[in-house]
Amino acid sequence: MNEGLYFEEYTEDWSFVSEGLEVTDEMIGAYVDLCKFTSPTFTDKAYVNKNYSGRMSPGLFVLSLAEGQVLNAGLTRRRGIFLMELAPKFLKPVFAGDTITNSVRLHSKRLTSKPDRGVVITSHEVKTQKGEVAIRYLSTRMIRTSAYVEAD
């Protein structure tokens, strides 16, 4: 999608499902190192092998990947003004080798006091290849309306 949706294009029946994204051991390792997630749950392979069925991904990393799926699809490209809030509920772990998709639908929307923008709340379900919902969340974004005039 070259350009995202204007506020008006978010209708009651609007929905989107992202392409699948495999969560790899290397991706988890890079995130854990970058963000200093020093818990044995994420860093100690012997501990992980003893206590879990594989290398678990931090929930915040999966949430970031899910938001990346929205951005990569272009849903807010040139239309999103800013991300105002995320309200996640982490329901199931995601492990290295799992593939996630992000199912998005309109939750609600409202115009702001300025005619060129509105607030759109979307509901998300991040699912694994098994169909299990790993994260359920709401995202609140300020989105341009079709009244927006782009500066030259």
Dihedral sign (CA 121, 16, 125, 55): negative
pLDDT-derived band of residue 148, with 50, 70 and 90 as boundaries?
Answer: confident
Tell me the two tokens of residue 146. Answer: 């079709």
What pLDDT, on a 0 to 100 scale, did the predictor assign at position 98? 98
Question: Mean pLDDT throughout 42-59?
Answer: 94
Does residue 102 surpass a pLDDT of 90?
Answer: yes
Angstrom distance (rounded) from CA 5 to CA 69: 15
What pLDDT, on a 0 to 100 scale, did the predictor assign at position 152? 63
What's the CA angle centered on 145, arms 140 and 150, to 5 degrees?
A: 115
Measured N-to-C along each axis, helices 25-35 and 59-73 cross at an angle, to the nearest 10 degrees, of 110
Q: Do 39 and 113 touch, CB atoms closer than 8 A?
A: no
H helices then E strands: how many in the chain? 4, 6
Report residue 62 CA to chain centroid gap: 8
SS3 of 46-65? HHHHHHCCCCECCHHHHHHH
